[in-house]
Amino acid sequence: MNTFELTTLVDITKTNARRGEDKLAYGQQQNYMSVMQTLGLRTNVEVSDPIFKKQKATGFGSDYANKNLNVWRCIVSVEQDESHSTDMMQEDFDMVPVVKNLNENANIEEALFCTSDSKKCNILFKILVEDDKYSI
């Protein structure tokens, strides 16, 4: 089983909100569901609930470099080792629509996950070794 860390500047808070409830919570849940559905395109996955932290943004696009931004992280475990890689996830997530203007403070111009633009990249993937899995 491979384990990855997903880190994003897009608000992917899991709220379980449904349509007609709080608009903020509903938008957050829609982004969380977009993550789950995109990850699940290739195989079954287990995903930890996203954890939010304000921190210096490193590794994202140059538009966000070294700014103190809201960052969401979760751990992704996949059943089939060959079914996911960081390259595959970058390809799958590029241009996936998101709801913006929630609790993110990054200036995300287009309402999309972006992996391929060196200036606007707002989601990262890292394969974790055994010692990293619980260091979120």
**Which residues 6+ apart lie within 8 Å of 16 measured at CB?**
29
pLDDT single digits (tens) 106-119: 999 999 999 999 99
Q: Can you read off the two tokens belonging to residue 57?
A: 């943004």
Segments forming the whole domain that contains residue 83: 2-132
Share of the chain above pLDDT 90, in %: 82
Cβ density class 14-32: b for 16+ within 10 Å, e for less: bbebeeeeeebbbbbbbbb
Residue 82 pLDDT class (50, 70, 90 cuts): confident
How many domains are there within the chain? 1
The reported pLDDT for the residue numbered 130 is: 63
CATH (domain of 25): 3.30.70
With tokens 């992917």, the residue in question is 12
